[in-house]
């Protein structure tokens, strides 16, 4: 959505990823299934179109796309969003 200018790209995107990517739940499920708990890799990888995505620099990926809009980068308060939906 940030790519198309519908929402700002969160400056605190690592905090957001950490809150929605529940590695604790995955680790517990892996433990119960006797599967080694793998940590997500943070290495760059090539997408189907040949472009490279680095999890450590998603804004660089957005700026490299041929079709794009201006990317607004702002701090996003997850606690404020949660309070508004209650």
Average pLDDT in the chain: 82
What is the pLDDT at residue 18? Answer: 77
Whether the pLDDT of residue 83 is over 60: the answer is no
Question: Do residues 78 and 86 make contact, with C-beta atoms less than 8 angstroms apart?
Answer: no
Paired with 9 in beta bridges are 73
Categorize the per-residue pLDDT at 15 as very low, low, confident or very high, splitting at 50, 70 and 90: confident
CA atoms within 13 Å, Cβ hemisphere of 25: 5
pLDDT tens-digit profile of 43-59?
Answer: 888 999 898 888 888 88
15-19, 55-59, 63-67, 73-77: lowest mean pLDDT where?
A: 15-19
């Amino acid at each position: 959505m940030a790519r198309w200018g519908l929402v700002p790209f969160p400056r605190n995107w690592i905090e957001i990823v950490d809150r929605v990517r529940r590695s604790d739940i995955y680790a517990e499920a892996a433990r119960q299934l006797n599967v080694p708990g793998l940590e997500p890799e943070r290495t760059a990888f090539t997408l189907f179109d040949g472009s490279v995505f680095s999890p450590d620099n998603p804004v660089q990926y957005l700026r490299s796309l041929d079709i794009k809009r201006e990317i607004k980068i702002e701090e996003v308060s997850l606690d404020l969003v949660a309070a508004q939906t209650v």
